[in-house]
Structures are given as structure tokens and as C-alpha cells.
Amino acid sequence: MVIRSPLIIILFFVGCYSTEFEKGTSQRDIIGIDSNQSFPRKIRDDESREDYYQFIVSSKKYTYWKNNYPEETLHVVLDFPVEKIDDHLVDVFRCFLNFNFNVATDFVEEEVLGAHHKDIAIEVIVRSLQVDDLGMAVLWAQDINDDTKRHSLIEELATH
């Protein structure tokens, strides 16, 4: 039997190749595939927080994710090692406010964030409002859980 259709031959080899590819997929290949997503992936069960952090921040798409998928990226940042969350949370939340202020503020009100992380997000909101809407900035500042930080920020707003 002679196969004359090049399409059938190509499909046969593609089918064989893809089976072999799946069998031989390494961890590095999986990471490469994950980095091609248009939004950041979640941490895997077999992955340390440090490895996950390194994967995300070293990705060429990290800036793209922050600017185009800020809510998803905030969830990603919360899976970073504890000592690296705060700086990235501030950065990504600023992007979120620029992307959609109302959705970002709703996120802070509705999402179950730890008190410390919620305070960080509220401080970013307050600083973004302090020039254009001082009254609203003061209202937001009153929601900060940490008494010292709240009083300091309200005093700073009063002297602004």
C-alpha cells in the first residue's frame, strides 16, 4: 500500500511526535510552556515559594501581567516568599489602580486579605488619592488596621 497524500503522512508523524513529546516532557519544558500563557499561572503543589517567585519575576511577561492582569498577578504575589511579598504587592497594586481604580478598590473591600496586606493596599490607595481627593484619602486611611500606621498617615494627610 502506497500512501500518496502528504497530509496523511504529516498527520501520522505529528501524531507520533506529540505522543513522544508528552512522554519526554521535562520540568524545564513545563515551565517553558507555562511562561507562554497570557496570564500568570498559579503555584504548583510540587514547587517551593522561592522557585515560584523566581519563575514569575524572571519571566519576560511579568510587566505585561502586572499591567494587563493585575488582579491575577496580585494573587500570584501572595504566593511569593513572605519577605518578598510587600514590595511586589505595592508595585502590582499600583498597576491595578491604574488599570481600573474601582475594581481595585472593590478588591480591597471584598477580597480576604490579611490585615498587613490590606493595610499595604489601602496605603497605596491613600497615596494615589491624596492630591486629587484628600477627603476620600482620609476616609480610606481610617480603614488601616495598624493604629500607628493609620495615625501617621492621617497626620501626613492633614499637613499635606
At 117, list the grid cell. 496586606
Sign of torsion over alpha carbons 130, 135, 87, 99: negative
The domain in which residue 6 lies consists of: 1-36
Residue 120 and residue 89 in contact, taking contact as beta carbons nearer than 8 Å: yes
pLDDT, tens only, 11-32? 444 444 444 344 444 444 444 4
Q: Which pLDDT tens digits describe the chain residue by residue (160 residues)?
A: 555 555 444 444 444 444 434 444 444 444 444 445 677 889 999 999 999 999 999 999 999 999 999 999 999 999 999 999 999 999 999 999 999 999 999 999 998 889 999 999 999 999 999 999 999 999 999 999 999 999 999 999 998 7
Report pTM.
Answer: 0.73
Same domain, 44 and 87: yes
At 113, list the grid cell. 486579605
Same domain, 81 and 132: yes
Same domain, 126 and 145: yes
Same domain, 18 and 50: no
Same domain, 129 and 149: yes
Predicted local distance difference test score (pLDDT) of residue 31: 44
Domain count, the chain: 2
Q: What is the DSSP string of 86-143?
A: HHHHHHHHHHHHHH-HHHHHHHHHHS---HHHHHHHHHHHHHHHTTT-HHHHHHHHTT
